[in-house]
Structure 1
Amino acid sequence: MPKRPHPPPPNRRKKTPKAPETADEYLAVAVELEESGERWRSGDVAKAGRFFVQAITAYETTLVRYPNNFDARYNRARLLYTLTQLPLPATFFPTNSTPESRLLAAAEAHRECNDLEKNSSDILFNYGQTLSSLGEFYANKPQDEIHDEEDESPAREVERLLQSKQAFESSWEVLQQCLVVQEADYKSTLEQSQSFDGIDRDGGDHMNDDDDNGDNYDYDNENGGVRLPPERRDSTTSSQSSNGGSNNGTTAQWASILEPTTKLSILDTALTMLEVQTSILTLSTPTTATTIFTKEYLEQITAHADTTLNSYILPIAGKLHEEEEFTQLGLEGSEVLEKEMEATLSRTNFLTALAEAKYYLGLSTLEIWEEEVKSAFDPFTLYPPPPPSTNQPTTAEYKGLIDLTTSWMALCDRSTAYTTLSTILLPQNPSKSWKLLSTISSPSLSSATKLAPEKEKPGIYLARGNLELLRSKIPIEAAEKGKDVLLKNAGVYYRGVVASAGSSLIGAVDGVKIREFVEEAKVKEAVIKLEQDGDWEPLKGVIRGGVGRDAVWKIVKGAVEDGVFGRDVFMAIAEKMRG
């Protein structure tokens, strides 16, 4: 049977998209690109990043045509910051772009937005977060030369920490402004709500009462209901006046939909403020504390933190359990518990950082430091139990006593706090150092492993391996006798990092961070074998497996600084890598 001739192929040429003409159309292009980036964010970080870069370019194009378009300026600033928080490789960016320059650009973009619209809590909060991230960058800034075998000089360290401190202080000031704006907005919302409650309490229907200042609606007698009156010229905003000019003469009406400020918004800002204050305190080290801090400064930051805690965080978090409160805020029971724990842990972390800074400044002793850490992690009464009722028994379970041992995050923070204390104790009292690590730090991480979600377990296993390495280096008889077991345990935990990293519950963004954990675990396990047996093959295998030499060097150097590997191993690896 002969084949029938095919019909001519249809014209599948894509239509050339119409070039945007109005401000709305320019924004629509940028927003579509941004939304595409958001869709890829959990699956392909690099692809999401490319869409975000295109969206930034589209917002900048909008601003060239419409310099006064605030939406484009705000969204551009927000995306510039988003790019700094994505785990993108250095090769993603232009060669002249650095993490520092990208954060500075995001901060400058937010400053420009804030200059244009002073009383926007959204802008202020984003600006404060950007400055806080800049402070974190300076606090952890790597040395320029990764192969520099010399430690960071004291002067260079102080300069870096002062940069970080300044960025954190600027962040705190901006967030404080944000809190003032939010309080005013919240008060205004309450007053409006109360005024609405007062309307028409007598039950009468005043909608159709004559009023000299009425809405002047036209009644549609033919179809029923009302017709809106004709629009007045002064009630519309032309695209020329709101968007920097337009040649097409069209009229665009812009409406800003603002979410009302709630107690939850205020709580989030206050928590971020306290986190920034805690970050400032963590900049103190045994060698630099007296250079970057004074007793008066510590008293000042403590007073500010007390205000943040006692005027905002604890009162608001302490009422979230009340039915009227969490219903109004739209919170589920589990979300209330999370916020209560977050508020309590923020207080604890500030107190532990304060205790450490006080010791470094010579304002307390090791005994006082230890006692203050213990007290900070004790169960905390967020709100008192209800008074006993004489009419009927209370059936609701009291949950106001917050037990931090039920939170994997708190357990990890507890382990870190005692590990830091143990490290300082080590030269003076190695037995006490061993005891703290063995009876508090290690069990805390063990409990955290059982409570943490899958995506957090690689990081906890890494911390457990590091802790076993640290214990193996303590110069006491128990550590000497158990050294082989401790090193074996460290290897088990490092392999646990690799095994748990394969969970299908780990998304793309977390996956990048976890790959770094895996690299660190593999390198440290290989260095253990090198230190024990002089066997180079495991470390060579790690490099052949894709871990870069720079990454290996950075991991080993950090471990030597932490005291878990000897200087001789460090020098041997340096010599080998140079060869």
Structure 2
Amino acid sequence: MAKPKSLTKQPKAKPKKEQKLESVDDFQAAGVEFEEAAGKWRAGDAAKSMRFFRRAIDMYDQGLRMFPRSIDLAYNKARVQLEIATHPILVDQLEQPLRAVLEEALASHRYTLELDPENTDALFNQAQVLTAIAELIASDEDGEGGGNEAEALKALREALDLQTICLTRQERKYQEFLELEHFADEQNASEKPPPASGSKEASEPSGAEEDDEWFNVVEPVTIDTLIDTLLAQMGTLTTFCSILSGSPEQAQPGTLVWAEEVATELVEKIQAISGEKQDRLQEIALARANLVSAMLEAAYRTGQTNAEAYGRELNLAFSNPNLQIDSFVDGLMAKARSFLALSSAMADADNEDARSQSTMRWNVLTASIASLKSASAARGISQEDLVSTHLLRGDASLHLYSMAFPPLSHQTAVNTASQNAKNAEVYYRNASRLTSDGEERDVASLKSMVAQYLQAYSQGNAQGDISGLLGASPRGQGWVIQQLEDMMAENLVPQALLS
């Protein structure tokens, strides 16, 4: 998700703490002071950081009760609410369900736009709130999913509409900026040189010290601004297609055609303006590859393309020279995830066409593992990404293992079943040792035990008794059963082995 757009005003001087809050600027300055304190503590003490953010929101709320038409107080309240609902460190400190916090942020952004419909930052941020709500619904966190995919898709359509409005206004402001810049250049060329240093005309005005006050900081719209909004739109459309892939029954006639038309327009626009931004070409190429991947999966799952075309177009998307894929961790991991998505889509197809293409699926999975291996060895990879490479390699290895069983019974998978299960066990064990996330560690540990069981089964040392797995986690049998059911639903293990 793109970072929320920041403050619209900056202080010339902070108010004294004992000063009575009487004006909009007083409340604004006090709120910013709490935000600055929250920012300082965010990395070291998330709980303390959250307390300061809450105080900032309370301060903006107090100001809005006295000055309900203040755009700046309304905007800053909404922006802080979005930040605490989307920052990974702060989300763990929420006292309310995440959906409720996001809904509050959405209401605050709607109010801000009632006061100032032209506020592009508020438009951008409201789209981010809607995207976060849709992602939450789709992930079924906080019990908000389960059949609400239509609601998620509706939220994403609204987000795309807001981003389109935002981009249109930004494009207009950018043209105005270029015209003013051109006019200023013409004026400077025709005017006399500035006075020499030390002359009366160039000296600083004298007088009493300025009062504490706020002044508008109007940042010009630049090419980077436009690219940021276009990338956000591409991300929103990617999420839309991903949710559609998981619920193909939600694909109304013409939905994918509409998505393709929007995607084509976005790609054409971002290519037209990014020619001189060499430092952003890789970022743009990755966003485009992720969008193509999501659209291809949706098209395949809705029967609008076949596996061969899916695989061919996917390879082309990640062959973009701007990606420099061999040394780009994010690109390697995105490619691996896209190949895993293709494998899963083929597995879910459950038709003669998919069974006859088992060799293609095998090759896709091994290519995914190769990309993850390269990513794990890349210089500067983060600990979080390193953990992800092990988890995904474990998943890919179990997909290879599952191909040994009917209806595929792929001969290479049959011959290497025990080794694939062993590889998965090692990858999951490595992930459990490397992660600092408690739940992720427990999931990886359980998957490692499942892989051990599958290896024993392939060697003829297991008789189908999974009672040992049911007591394998301190989270309880219910949690273990849910994890096992998820693994079967994801085609990580043959259903017959754990049923």
**TM-score normalised to structure 2 length:** 0.82
- 8 Å CA contact 2:46–2:89 kept in 1: the answer is yes
- The residue identity in structure 1 corresponding to 2:440 is F
- 8 Å CA contact 1:529–1:538 kept in 2: the answer is no
Structure 1 range deviating more: 474-483 or 299-308:
474-483
2:7 corresponds in structure 1 to none
Aligned partners of 2:193, 2:87: CA distance in 1, in Å? 56
1:184 aligns with 2:172: yes
Aligned partners of 1:348, 1:457: CA distance in 2, in Å? 22
Match of 2:181 among 193, 206, 210: 193
Match of 1:454 among 368, 371, 383: 383
1:500 corresponds in structure 2 to 434
Cα displacement string for residues 219-266 of structure 1 (whole angstroms, at most 9, x for unaligned residues): x99x99585899xxxxx9xxxxxxxxxxxxxx9854211111110010
2:486 corresponds in structure 1 to 558
Aligned partners of 1:254, 1:279: CA distance in 2, in Å? 39
- 8 Å CA contact 1:418–1:436 kept in 2: the answer is no
- 8 Å CA contact 1:462–1:497 kept in 2: the answer is yes
**Residues 355-374 of structure 1 correspond to what in structure 2 (within 5 A)?**
355-374=296-315
Shift of 1:143: 8.1
1:517 corresponds in structure 2 to 440
2:346 corresponds in structure 1 to 425
1:265 corresponds in structure 2 to 225
- The residue identity in structure 2 corresponding to 1:482 is T
Larger radius of gyration: 1
1:162 corresponds in structure 2 to 150
Aligned partners of 1:293, 1:406: CA distance in 2, in Å? 40
Aligned partners of 1:442, 1:224: CA distance in 2, in Å? 66
Aligned partners of 2:450, 2:50: CA distance in 1, in Å? 35
User: Which stretches in structure 2 are left out of the alignment for 5+ residues?
Assistant: 1-16, 457-461
Aligned partners of 1:254, 1:437: CA distance in 2, in Å? 58
1:350 aligns with 2:273: no
Shift of 1:434: 4.7
Aligned partners of 2:193, 2:317: CA distance in 1, in Å? 58
Shift of 1:435: 2.2
2:265 corresponds in structure 1 to 307
CA distance 1:224–1:84, shift in 2 (3 Å): closer
Aligned partners of 2:275, 2:47: CA distance in 1, in Å? 42
Cα displacement string for residues 479-520 of structure 1 (whole angstroms, at most 9, x for unaligned residues): 23322222221121112213333xxxxxxxxx5xx4443222
- The residue identity in structure 1 corresponding to 2:62 is T
Q: Secondary structure at the match of 2:362?
A: helix
- 8 Å CA contact 1:289–1:357 kept in 2: the answer is yes
Shift of 1:59: 1.5
1:298 corresponds in structure 2 to 256
Match of 2:273 among 302, 308, 316: 316
Cα displacement string for residues 141-195 of structure 1 (whole angstroms, at most 9, x for unaligned residues): 24849xxxxxx9xxx63xx111111111111111111111111111111111111
1:82 corresponds in structure 2 to 83
CA distance 1:202–1:74, shift in 2 (3 Å): closer
What RMSD, in angstroms, separates the aligned Cα atoms of the two structures?
Answer: 3.3
- The residue identity in structure 1 corresponding to 2:374 is S
Structure 1 range deviating more: 408-417 or 163-172:
408-417
Aligned partners of 2:312, 2:91: CA distance in 1, in Å? 44
Aligned partners of 2:106, 2:453: CA distance in 1, in Å? 45
Q: Secondary structure at the match of 2:216?
A: coil
1:35 corresponds in structure 2 to 36
1:410 corresponds in structure 2 to 331
* Aligned-residue identity in percent: 23
CA distance 1:227–1:468, shift in 2 (3 Å): closer
CA distance 1:537–1:188, shift in 2 (3 Å): same
Aligned partners of 1:91, 1:119: CA distance in 2, in Å? 34
- 8 Å CA contact 2:31–2:59 kept in 1: the answer is yes
Aligned partners of 1:177, 1:228: CA distance in 2, in Å? 45
Shift of 1:570: 5.9
- The residue identity in structure 2 corresponding to 1:300 is W
CA distance 1:490–1:48, shift in 2 (3 Å): same
1:385 corresponds in structure 2 to none
Shift of 1:44: 2.7
User: Which stretches in structure 1 are left out of the alignment for 5+ residues?
Assistant: 1-15, 146-151, 209-219, 231-235, 237-250, 322-335, 381-400, 502-510, 572-579
Structure 1 range deviating more: 371-380 or 261-270:
371-380
Aligned partners of 2:476, 2:470: CA distance in 1, in Å? 11
- The residue identity in structure 1 corresponding to 2:167 is L
CA distance 1:371–1:340, shift in 2 (3 Å): same
Q: Secondary structure at the match of 1:432?
A: helix
1:256 corresponds in structure 2 to 216
2:136 corresponds in structure 1 to 137
1:333 corresponds in structure 2 to none
CA distance 1:470–1:402, shift in 2 (3 Å): closer
- 8 Å CA contact 1:527–1:539 kept in 2: the answer is no
- The residue identity in structure 1 corresponding to 2:304 is L
1:126 corresponds in structure 2 to 125
2:113 corresponds in structure 1 to 114
CA distance 1:319–1:566, shift in 2 (3 Å): same
Aligned partners of 1:375, 1:407: CA distance in 2, in Å? 17
Shift of 1:433: 4.9
Q: How many residues align?
A: 460
Q: Secondary structure at the match of 2:491?
A: coil
CA distance 1:454–1:122, shift in 2 (3 Å): same
- 8 Å CA contact 1:274–1:346 kept in 2: the answer is yes
2:14 corresponds in structure 1 to none
Shift of 1:553: 5.0
**Residues 473-488 of structure 1 correspond to what in structure 2 (within 5 A)?**
473-474=402-403, 475=405, 476-488=410-422
Aligned partners of 2:307, 2:205: CA distance in 1, in Å? 77
Shift of 1:126: 0.9
- The residue identity in structure 1 corresponding to 2:285 is T
Cα displacement string for residues 43-82 of structure 1 (whole angstroms, at most 9, x for unaligned residues): 2323322221222122111212222332221111111111
